Amino acid sequence: MQNLFTDLSDAMTRAVADAAPGVARVEARRRMPASGIVWSADGLILTAHHVVQSDKITIGLEGKTAVAAKLVGRDPSTDLALLRAESASLLPLPHAAAKEVSVGNLVLALARPEQSVQATLGIISALEQGWRAPGGGLIDQYVQTDVVMYPGFSGGPLINAAGQLVGLNTSGFGQGISLTIPVATLQRVADSLLTHGRIKRGYLGISTQRVHLPEAIREELGQKSGLLIMGVEPGSPAEKGGLALGDTIVALDGQPVRKHEQLFVLLSGDRVGTAVPITILRGGKLETLQVQIGERG
């Protein structure tokens, strides 16, 4: 039994040491620095959006002097930011395949809020299908762990027993639990930020006001309010799709729309260019129109 624990301890120590070059310190706010993940050998660093609060950014790397970095782009909806450090020949972490990640796997959360790398041990406690973050961003998989998110750990990597990157740890979603943004989301968002400097957002071209629904409609839908269309931009996706002044939006793609924030969340980048059903109240009757979501400029 002693050998088992010794072997496990030695294996974790090696995993941390091997992964350390892929963990960065991110100094981009007044209080304690946060952490980041070396994403490419030529200096790309991924971190949490909420920890980048200044235009002056410094990156600390394993065994190297701190270097300056610039913001390539950020996506508040997934709490991700992509930086480019003035450094080359970095060592990105190898990626874990999603099919190899399971509930009960031992994992290590790594961080570098100071000079040296820090680590905390836990297990993957929950895995679910894709979900939408509070800001509307599409997260490819729900990954919850029981690791303790100490100060400075946001933006750092979660690695498996083989030292492979499972995802990026963040406390930015404010749910009081340890959540990890999986590699698939990191790849998709990083590619978009590198190419466009931003993430696409959906666009209808309307102005709305929250209103109470008639009692009969409330009982039928099980919701009390919707969004009354107060204006439609000429040539907009809304106009082309048949939405008109006076319509009340009550659902988009089967999801209830009770307030402006819900519509914003549903107009996510992955829906741009696709036709989605929008349910409206028109003349006292419910109708469903197919509207192709545009891209906000």
Phi (first) and psi of residue 111, to 5 degrees: -155, 165
Burial class (CB in 10 A: 0-12, 13-18, 19+), 83: buried
Nearest to 246 by CA among 257, 256, 231: 231
What is the torsion angle, in degrees rounded to the nearest 10, for the CA atoms of residue 129, residue 131, residue 137 and residue 140?
A: -10
Q: What is the pLDDT of residue 257?
A: 95
> Is the CATH number 2.40.10.120 carried by domain 2-196?
yes
User: How is the chain split into domains, by residue range?
Assistant: 2-196, 202-295
Q: Which residues contact 269 (CB under 8 A, 6 or more apart)?
A: 138, 192, 199, 200, 201, 202, 295
Q: Tell me whether strands 142-145 and 157-159 are parallel, antiparallel or unpaired.
A: unpaired
Instruction: Give the pTM.
Output: 0.78
> What are the structure tokens assigned to 118, written together?
């820090």
Catalytic (active-site) positions: 50, 79, 154
Domain 202-295, classified CATH 2.30.30.100, yes or no: no
CB of 79 closer than 8 Å to CB of 133: yes
Whether 202-295 and 2-196 are alike in CATH topology: the answer is: no
For the chain of 297 residues, list the mean pLDDT of each consecutive stretch of 10. Answer: 82 93 96 96 96 96 90 93 92 92 96 96 93 82 93 96 95 84 96 86 92 94 96 95 96 93 83 94 96 88
pLDDT score at 297: 65
Rounded to an integer, what is the distance from CA 16 to the centroid of its chain? 25
Is the dihedral angle over the CA atoms 249, 252, 256, 259 positive or is it negative? negative
Q: What angle do CA 105, 129, 169 make, to 5 degrees?
A: 55
| pLDDT value at residue 77 | 86
